Every structure is written in C-alpha cells, then in structure tokens.
Chains A and B, each alone.
Chain A
Amino acid sequence: MTRLRAAGLVLAAPVVAFGFALAVTLVILALARVDPLAVLGDALAYGLRPVTLVAVANKAIPYYLAGIAAAVGFHLRLFNIGIDGQYRLGAFAAAVIGAAVSLPAPLHVALVVVVAMAVGWGWAAVAGLLYVRRGVNVVISTIMLNAVASGLIAWLLSPARLAQQAAGSNNVTTATIPPSGWIPSIAIPGVEGAGAAVNGFVFVAIAVGIGYWLVLHRSTVGFEVRAMGLSGRAAKVAGIRAPRLALLTMAASGAIAGLVGLPQLLGASHRFGLDFPSGLAFTGLSVAILGRNHPLGVAFGAFAWAFIERSAQVLDLAGVSREVVTILQAVTVLAIVVAYELVRRIRARQERRYVARAVGGASGVTV
C-alpha cells in the first residue's frame, strides 16, 4: 500500500508540474492578447497529425541521446553543459573524416560513429580532468569549452579550410559523406508526405538506452556510480575511488554526447554545417530531469520536448512568438524539480512516521 502510494506520488509530480507550467503559459498567451485555448487547440491539432508525429520522433532522437548523456553525469551531480561542444566537435570531425574515406557500408558508418564518440569522449575528458585534478566546477569548465569548440569550428568551417559554400544557400558545410556512410530511414506505412520516415539512428538510440540501463544496474562500475550518487562518503569508505569514477563518468557522458549529431549527419544532411543546432545541452539536462535519469523516462521527456517544440510552429501563424515554448519548458523543469523535492519530503515524513510507529511502543519516540 505504501509502495503504491509512493509510486503514485512520483508519477503525480510531473503531471502536476506540467499542469502548473501550462497554466503559466496560458496566462502569458492571454497577456499577449490572443485566445490561449484556441492557440493551444491549434497547436495540439497540428502536433498530433501523423506527419508531424514522425517529425517529432526524428527530433526526439538527438534529444534522447543528449538526455542520456546528461543523465550519466547526473548520477554524480556532474552537470555536463558541454554536451553542446562535445556533440558539435564530434559531428564535425566525423563528417570531415567520413567524407575523406571510402569504405564498405557498415564499416563506413561504424567509422563515423567511432570518430564522433571518440572526439566527444576526449573533449569531455578535458573537463573531467580539470574537475578531478584541479577541482574546477564542471558547469564553468564545460561552458568555457563550448565557447572554445564553437570558435574552433567557426575557424575550421570556412571555405579556406575544411568546408565549402553550399550551392544556392548561406550554409557553409563540410564535404558530403559518400552513400556508403549513410543510414537508411524507415518509412512508416500509412503516413504520406515529405520527410515522413523515421531516422534509422533510432535503433542506435534504443541500444544506447538499454546499454545505459545495463551498465548502471548490472555492472560493477554502474554499482559504484549509484553508490557514489546515493552517499559519497559511504562509497569512499567502502573503497570506491571517487576521482577515477568521476573522470570515467564525465568521459562516458561525452562519448554519448558525441552521438547526438549523428542522426542528422548519417540519416539526413550527410554533411556538417552551420545548421547543426546549439543549445542541446540544456535540452538534454531538462529531458534527463524530466525522466528522472531512467531510460524510459528520458525517452518520454525527449518525445514531450520535441512534441512541444514542433507543435509550437503553429504559434507564428497565430501571431505569437514561438519563444513562449522556451518559457513553458523552463517553467516545466522548475515546477518538476520543486514537485520532486516536495515528494521527497513527504516520503521522508511518511517513513519517519512509519519508523516511529514501529518502534514507538518500545522507546516512546514521537515524530
């Protein structure tokens, strides 16, 4: 019974929080002098069309990978804001190398994946080393590393160096990866229209989610990470080497972050350009918070985030700035962390009462 109530509380928290965030957003829409419910209805109708849902799924794949990358760090309270730099540098290097070689199809894709992961791993390891050796706050170091990565890419991604001007557009891109380094998309039966196919990288994302769960719950390292996250002091006493674990976790987070750009690189654009989005670190962190670091929860969070952003495209037509979505997302995250904290306090009080009742007769403890 208590377990059921506890589970109910955990599930109720995000629902209540999202409801609160939605209410805030509706108030903002009303302040912007549009009919909030009509706009919301339009957005839902647009978002729930099958074609849009496929696009949402495609958008959710990188969000999911970023979310898992963030979740890996969360266990040790390492906030990897560097997902942005790690993924963009990784995708850039992978695009350059992928376009420069010719290999049989599976090997070519594998090479691109390995390069992207290795670069993400290495770039995150810089922040990990700074944290472990010099005690530099990970948030600060990864934000600085993002700026450095942006500058490096801006310098390398110029026609004078590793890039070329795309014909007929302002986009500057690397050379195109030959078709042996592409992954196919999966057409969804019954859905018509341009881009109505799910990116094949979805299977990699699913594999990453399963691998994340297995490592965390079925391996020694995963056990150490969870122990460290629950009580750092107890874990250290038990002989877990905290610095080594932090470095490992940070680098693993970076390696997963390296995958974030690959759905677009391998499945859609086949070259790296200025159109690879930035700001995915915050998306990843939000999605991981939403999903409480659980692979299924993160999947739900990623899909919800992608759905909100995609359906918001209708807002422009209603004369409302699409940025209202960012407000909705930020308020959702804040409301959810508050809700989780309140749930934690309620459960702690329940447990104290339970303990008091169990031992109360003997010792007379009152809580």
Chain B
Amino acid sequence: MTGASIPGFRTRPGWLLGPVARVIAGFTALSLLSGALEAPDLFSRGGIAATLRFTAPILLAGLGALWAERSGVINIGLEGMMIAGTWFGAWAGYQWGVGAGLAAGVAAGTAFGLVHALLAVTFGVDQAISGLTLNLLAVGLTRFLSSIAFAAVAGGSITTSPAVPDFPTVSLPAVEVLLAPVDRANVPVLGDAAAVVLGLLTDVSVLTVLVVALVPVTWWVLWRTRLGLRIRAVGERPEAADSLAVRPWVYRYVALGVSGGLAGLAGVYLVTVASSLYREGQTAGRGFIGLATVIFGNWNPWSVTVGSLVFGFTDALRTRQEVTVGVLLVAIGLVGAAVAIRRGFAGDWRGTLLFGIPAGALLAWFWIVRAVPSEFVSFAPHLTTLLVLAFARQRLRPPAAVGEPFRRGDAG
C-alpha cells in the first residue's frame, strides 16, 4: 500500500505547496494576456476584493456540505439553510446590529440542519427528497415572514429588508503603504500581483477573516479530534462504528447541525458583507455550487477552498467588464487548443476533436464579438461547475456511506 492511497493523507496543508509554482505561472500568463487584450479589471484591486466576497459564501456552503457528507448525509438542503440564514440574519441584523444578525442567521441554519437530520437520519427519508423539500420550505417561509416583518417597515418591502449594518473591516498594516505605489505604477505582472495582494489583505471584513479561519478549523476538528474521527467513521462504515458504541445518529445530528450553521453563516455573509440587505432569491443557487465544490475538492477542506475560489472568481465576473470576461474565454480557448495539439501529437484524434472544436469556437467567438453578453456571464459559475465536474480528474473517493440511511439491523 502506497502512502497516496491512505485516506486523509492529502488533507495536510503541505501538499498545496506543489501547485504554487503552477499558480504563479498561470497568473503570469493571464496577467500578460489581459494586458495584451487591454482588459483593465481582470486583476484589479476591486475585482480581487469582489472575488473574495463572492468566494466566501460558496466556501461556507462547501464546508457545510463537507461536514454533512463526511458524516454520510448529503445536504441538498444547503440552499434552503442559506436562505434561512439570509432572512433571519437580516431580520435580527437591521434591528439589533450585526452581532444579533450573525447569531440569528446561524441559529436558523442550524435549526434547518437539525430538521434535515430528523427527516433523513431519524425517519430515514430519502436524503435528496428531504433536502429539496427543505429548500422549498425555506422559500415559502421567508416569503411569508417577509410579508409580515418587512412589508410594512420603512425601507423594506415584500421582497427586501431594510438596510442591514455591515461588519467592520480590517487591513494588514503596511501593505497599503508598500504595495499601492506598485499597483498604481502599472508595471506588467508585478502591478497585477500587487493589486491581488492589496485586494486580499486590505479592507477585509472581519466576517471574511472568520470564514477563512473556518477552513483550518474544519480540517482540525474533522481530522485531529475524537469527534471528527467519529463523524468520519460514521460516514464510512456506520455499522462498524455502531458496533463500537459510536452511535451514527448522534454524529450525523452533530454534523448536520454544524452544516446548517455554516450555511446560515453564508446567508448572513450575503446580507451583510456581499450586499447590505436581504433580497429574495439572493442565494442564487450558491448552496448547490457549494455541494459541487465538495465533489471537486474530493471531500477535503483544502481542495474545497481551491474549488470555491474558482467558482467565486467566475461568480464575481458579473461585476467586471465584458471585455475582461472575454479574456478568460481566450485563456480557456488557448488551453483547450494546447491540449488538442498535444493529443494530436499523441495520436489521439478523438481527443483533438473533443478539445479542439470547443476551443476553436471560443476563440472565434472572441474574435468576432470581442465581448460576452451579460446573460451568459450570469450563468458563468453554473457552467463552470458543470465543466469542472465533467472534466476534472475523476480520482475521487467520496465517503463510503454517503447517501445511505443507517438503520440498525437493515445493513447487510
């Protein structure tokens, strides 16, 4: 047995150091390309800050999905739990301040998570049905509550809440002084790098810092504590765990409570940091994208973070100029063309066609229209999710018992 096949081996932060060189190379190439095509805001400071704001809710949903699935339960209700988080976060937030909003949003998400546990664990209802219906319930409940709580309030309406206060922001000292001149000087590549660092480390919301901190916390709890070991054991072999007096239902309740709480926090993030009020439909499928990051991230928190960054980046494209989105298409087209040529040299003609035709179409599109319609940008994260799931390396290993209800005596 080689080291690479031991579950959990790739969950140490160290393995990320390898790809760092690749990230730097990719960044340099993209930076040069955007310079050549005169796209101003691919790596602008504001754009990077926006990416961070769009990544955080997806990351939280991804961590929520991770907790649930590691315990053996798929949480398709994440979207609904996020919706509950947005509503209760805004409702408490506009009246009693951000602290109350945070508490209410997380509590609402946790409550939904526990209902999912009641249905899926205690009653053994199909996990997908339970989750999907909880999404519907959250939509109905929040609309109904809005009509009571927001419609008659000044600044609110039947679909929006009054303005919600924001969390304070923090900056890493000295970064502004050191790097702002580099950013303004427009040095190729280096200027973009400075903008990235500035966007990531200055004027960052306290809540964003908390979200980022939750990644190592999740890793530590799930892989370095007794509770985490039990949660993962229950997700792999519930009957084995049960025979050792580790009751699967207890740990699945705990995991789903945390999962719902994280989704609720994602909702709070949406109403406070990412915007400044509750708006119906605000979650826009981010709970489902979070589920996808877990598949992309092979059920480990570090890769989930990388996946969230990819989806957050595409989600933030809607804040950018159309030319900039075109640059990304050109980049994807060039990568696809390179893969096609490599496949051709390897004698794999089917591979050449499979990658070459879409790549050629993308490049031709950019050549002709030079911009991407905003309607297409709106589904960029969803399309990216599909493409990533379709083409990502499929050496994945989900928790063995995920999706399987556990009933003592039922399992063979």
Contacts and interface: CB of A to CB of B under 8 A. Distances in A.
A14 to B, nearest CB: 15
A59 to B, nearest CB: 18
A337 B126 contact: yes
A321 B137 CA distance: 15
B14 to A, nearest CB: 28
A333 B376 contact: no
A2 B169 CA distance: 68
Contacts of A321: 143-144, 146-148, 158
Interface string A143-180: 11101101110110000000000000000000000000
* Interface residue SS majority, chain B: helix
A14 B337 CA distance: 56
A32 B386 contact: no
Nearest to B124: A341
Given A134-B394, A321-B147, A323-B140, A145 B386 contact: yes
Interface stretch (A42-50, A192-200, A244-252, A324-332): A324-332
Interface residues on A, range: 35 or more
B133 A333 contact: yes
B182 interface: no
Contacts of B385: 140, 144
A289 B123 CA distance: 16
Nearest to B118: A338
B200 interface: no
A282 interface: yes
B258 interface: no
Given A282-B132, A323-B144, A334-B119, A140 B288 contact: yes
Interface string B362-388: 000000000001011011001101100
B285 to A, nearest CB: 6
Contacts of A296: none
A323 B291 contact: no
B106 interface: no
B379 A331 contact: no
B390 A330 contact: no
A185 interface: no
Given A155-B375, A337-B119, A326 B394 contact: no
Interface string B254-296: 0000000000000000000000000000000100100110010
A356 interface: no
Contacts of A330: 133-134, 136-137, 140
Interface string A249-275: 000000000000000000000000000
Interface string B108-148: 00000000000100011110111011111101110110111
A82 to B, nearest CB: 12
Nearest to A129: B390
A148 B378 CA distance: 9
Given A79-B129, A151-B378, A341-B123, 11 more contacts: A136-B295, A139-B132, A144-B383, A148-B386, A289-B129, A321-B146, A325-B140, A327-B144, A330-B134, A334-B137, A337-B133
